[in-house]
Amino acid sequence: MNAVAFQALWSHWRRHKVQLATLVLGLALATALWSGVQAINAEARKSYDRAAGVLGQDQLDRLEAPGGVTLSQYIALRRAGWDISPVVEGRLSGDDLRLLGVDPLSAPPQPALTALAGDSAALATFLGDGFLLVAPETAARLQGSDLPPRRIAADVPPGTAITDIGTALRLLRTDRLSHLLIRRQQAMGLTPLDQITDLKRVTPTDQSSLAQLTDSFHLNLTAFGLLSFAVGLFIVQSAIGLAFEQRRAAFRTLRALGISLRRLMALLAVELGVIALVSGAAGILLGYIIAAALLPGVAGTLRGLYGAEVTGTLSFDPLWALSALGIALLGAAAAGAQALWRVARMPLLAPAQPRAWAMASGRMIRMQTGAAIALLLLSGLLALWGDSLMAGFACLAALLIGAALALPVLLLVLLRLAGRFTRGPLSEWLVADARQQVPALSLALMALLLALAANVGVGTMVGSFRATFVGWLDQRLASELYITTRTPAEAEAIRTYLTPRTDAVLPIWSVAITLRGAPAQVYGVADDPTYRDHWPLLQAQPDAWDRLAQGDGVLINEQMARRDELSLGDPLTLSEGWQLPVVGVYSDYGNPQAQLIAGTDALATHYPDQLVLRFAVRADAAQVPALITDLTACFDLPDDALRNQAEIKALSLDIFDQTFLVSGALNVLTLGVAGFAMLTSLLTLSSLRLPQVAPVWALGVAPRQIALAELARTALLATLTWALAVPVGLALAWVLLAVVNVQAFGWRLPMQLFPGGWLWLGLWALVAALLASAWPVWRLVTLPGGQLLRVFANDR
Question: Residues in the site for other proteins, rule: CB under 8 A?
Answer: 71-72, 75, 78-81, 103, 105-106, 120-121, 123-125, 127-128, 130, 164-167, 169-170, 185-189
Pick the closer one to other proteins by CB: 125 or 632. 125
CA 422 to mean position of chain CA atoms: 45
Give the span between the Cα atoms of 760 and 766, in whole angstroms. 10
Pick the closer one to other proteins by CB: 175 or 194. 175
Closest CA to 742 of 225, 209, 383: 383
Q: The sheet that has 179-182: what strands, in order across it?
A: 150-152, 132-134, 160-164, 97-102, 84-92, 179-182, 62-64, 200-202
Pick the closer one to other proteins by CB: 168 or 414. 168
In the complex, the smallest distance separating the C-beta of residue 125 from other proteins, rounded to whole angstroms, is 7
3-state SS, 263-320, equals HHHHHHHHHHHHHHHHHHHHHHHHHHHHHHHHHHHHHHHHHHHHCCCCCCCCCCCHHH
Pick the closer one to other proteins by CB: 1 or 121. 121
In the complex, the smallest distance separating the C-beta of residue 123 from other proteins, rounded to whole angstroms, is 7
In the complex, the smallest distance separating the C-beta of residue 60 from other proteins, rounded to whole angstroms, is 16
Largest CA distance in the chain: 107
CA 444 to mean position of chain CA atoms: 26
In the complex, the smallest distance separating the C-beta of residue 76 from other proteins, rounded to whole angstroms, is 9
In the complex, the smallest distance separating the C-beta of residue 175 from other proteins, rounded to whole angstroms, is 9
Pick the closer one to other proteins by CB: 191 or 579. 191
In the complex, the smallest distance separating the C-beta of residue 103 from other proteins, rounded to whole angstroms, is 8
Closest CA to 775 of 696, 687, 693: 687
In the complex, the smallest distance separating the C-beta of residue 55 from other proteins, rounded to whole angstroms, is 16
Give the span between the Cα atoms of 259 and 252, in whole angstroms. 10
Phi first, then psi: give them for residue 358, nearest 5 degrees: -105, 10
Contact residues for 160 (Cβ-Cβ < 8 A; gap 6+): 51, 54, 97, 98, 99, 100, 134, 135, 138, 309
Partnered with residue 160 across adjacent β-strands are: 98
Given a contact cutoff of 8 angstroms between Cβ atoms, the answer to whether 106 and 85 are in contact is yes
Pick the closer one to other proteins by CB: 96 or 129. 129
Pick the closer one to other proteins by CB: 125 or 212. 125
Residues counted in the chain: 796
In the complex, the smallest distance separating the C-beta of residue 105 from other proteins, rounded to whole angstroms, is 4
What DSSP string describes 237-256?
HHHHHHHHHHTHHHHHHHHH
Given a contact cutoff of 8 angstroms between Cβ atoms, the answer to whether 714 and 771 are in contact is no
Given a contact cutoff of 8 angstroms between Cβ atoms, the answer to whether 711 and 371 are in contact is no
In the complex, the smallest distance separating the C-beta of residue 100 from other proteins, rounded to whole angstroms, is 15
Pick the closer one to other proteins by CB: 76 or 774. 76
Given a contact cutoff of 8 angstroms between Cβ atoms, the answer to whether 722 and 767 are in contact is no
Pick the closer one to other proteins by CB: 68 or 507. 68
Closest CA to 618 of 547, 534, 509: 534
Closest CA to 597 of 579, 585, 608, 613: 585
Question: What CA–CA distances, in Å, run from 660 to 365, 562, 722?
Answer: 38, 29, 21
In the complex, the smallest distance separating the C-beta of residue 80 from other proteins, rounded to whole angstroms, is 6
In the complex, the smallest distance separating the C-beta of residue 82 from other proteins, rounded to whole angstroms, is 8
| Element at 92 (helix H, strand E) | strand 84-92
Give the span between the Cα atoms of 647 and 650, in whole angstroms. 5
In the complex, the smallest distance separating the C-beta of residue 570 from other proteins, rounded to whole angstroms, is 49
Pick the closer one to other proteins by CB: 117 or 390. 117
